[in-house]
Structure 1
Amino acid sequence: MYTPDRFSRNIFKELKEKKVWDLAKNIHLKYRRMWAGPDINVYIFPSAGGGLFSRHPGKSGVSFANMLFLFLPFEIEEAELEALFVHEYHHVCRINSQKKKLEEFTLLDSIILEGLAEHSVEIHCGKKFRGSWCTRYSKEEIKKFWHKFIKPNLKLKKNDSLHQKILYGERPYPLLLGYAAGYEVVKEFKEIKSFSTKISFIAPSEYFVDQTLYKLDSHSL
C-alpha cells in the first residue's frame, strides 16, 4: 500500500510542522460526535503524487470498518483535509451500519456507498470540494452507462475483478464509472425525497435506487 522514500520523508516533516495529525484528530472528533460514529484508528501517510480519486493532486484515502488511511501532500489545506475525511468516514459509518462484511458488498453497494459519501462532502464542505467524477459525465451519459455496463452486473461481489473494473472505470469502461454513477443516482434520489444522515448509513442500497430512473427489476438483483 505504501513505500517510503526520501521525497515522502520530506512531505512527512512538512505535514508534521503543519500539525496535520492534530487537525485530523479534531475533524475526527467533530464528525464522530455529529454522526454518533465509531471511534476508529486514523492513519496518515505522505503522498508523493496525484491519485486517480484525488480531488486535488496527491490526496486520497482508503476506508475499512475499524480504520481509515489518508494519503496527503504537504500543501494540504484544512478544508481539503476535512472533505477527504468526511468522504472516508462516511464510508466507515455506513459499512458498520450495514451489518455486512466489506467483502460481501455488491457492485450496487459499492456504487451507492461512493455516491452517499460524496453527497455528504457536498453538504458539509461545499460543492467546490466534490471529486472530479461528480461532473465528469452528463446525466444522459450516466443513464446510458448504467443500462449498458452497470445494471447487468449489480450482483458482482467486491472480490470479483469485473466489480473493480466497473467501479473504478478501468479500460474498456469509462473512467471512474461507478463513482460518477453513484453520485448521479443519489443526486436524482435527493430531488425526489430528502433523507437524514442516519438514513444514509442504515438504508439498504436498493432504497436509493428504486424511486429513480435507475429502478431495479428482478433481473438486476
Structure 2
Amino acid sequence: MNIFITGTAGWKTSLRETIAHEYCHSITKYPIANNSILDAIIYEGMAEHYRENVVGGKTAPWASALSRNESKAQLKKLKSKLNSKSHKLFQQVFFGSSEYPLWTGYSIGYQIIKEFMKRSPNVTWKEIMALDPKKILRQSKIMNT
C-alpha cells in the first residue's frame, strides 16, 4: 500500500480515512488482482463502509455520486457484465465514460453493502470480508427491491 500525503487543509482526516479504506482492501479474503467487475464493486463498497465504521466521517463523494435508485439502475445495466474482468470496463464503470457516470462502481458498491448490512446487522466485519461478493450481492437483495 502506497499513500502519498500533501500538506493541504484536512490532510490528517484524509490520511486517517484513506488508511482505514485501504486497510480493508488489504485484509479481505479474496486477492485484489484479477477481480471481476462485481468483485471490485463489492470491495470498494465494503472498504468505504469499513472506513465509516472505524473512523467515521461523511460519506465520500465517490460513494454518494449516484443515488440509491441511480445505483440500482446502473447495476441492472451492468448485470450481464458483472463477471467481466475487462480493465477497460473497470475504467469506464469506476472513472466514468459516455456509458457510465463518474464513480458509478463506487456508488453501486456503497449501496449494495448498505443494503447487505441493513439485512444482516449481526454479521461482523471479519465475516463480511470473508464472504464471496456474489453472496453479498444476493443477500443485499438490491436487485429485488
Same fold at TM > 0.5: yes
Question: Residue in 2 aligned with 1:152?
Answer: 80
Question: Residue in 2 aligned with 1:197?
Answer: 125
Give the number of aligned pairs: 141
1:79 Cα shift? 2.7
1:1-221 equivalences under 5 Å are 68-75=1-8, 76-94=10-28, 97-98=29-30, 100=31, 102-103=33-34, 105-128=35-58, 130-148=59-77, 150-157=78-85, 159-194=86-121, 195-211=123-139, 212-214=141-143
Residue-by-residue CA offset, 1:1-22 (whole Å, 9 max, x unaligned): xxxxxxxxxxxxxxxxxxxxxx
Provide the TM-score with structure 1 as the length reference: 0.59
Structure of higher RCO (CA pairs closer than 8 Å, 6+ residues apart): 2
Q: CA RMSD in A?
A: 1.7
Quick one: distance in 1 between partners of 2:32 and 2:107? Answer: 24
| Unpaired stretches in structure 2, ≥5 consecutive residues | none
Moved over 3 A (4+): none
Name the % identity.
29
2:25 counterpart letter in structure 1: H
Give SS of 1:175's match.
Answer: coil
1:213 counterpart letter in structure 2: I
1:88 counterpart letter in structure 2: E
| Unpaired stretches in structure 1, ≥5 consecutive residues | 1-67, 216-221
Q: Is the 8 A contact 2:63 2:103 kept in 1?
A: no
Q: Is the 8 A contact 2:94 2:104 kept in 1?
A: yes
Q: Which has the higher helix share?
A: 2
Q: Which has the higher strand share?
A: 1
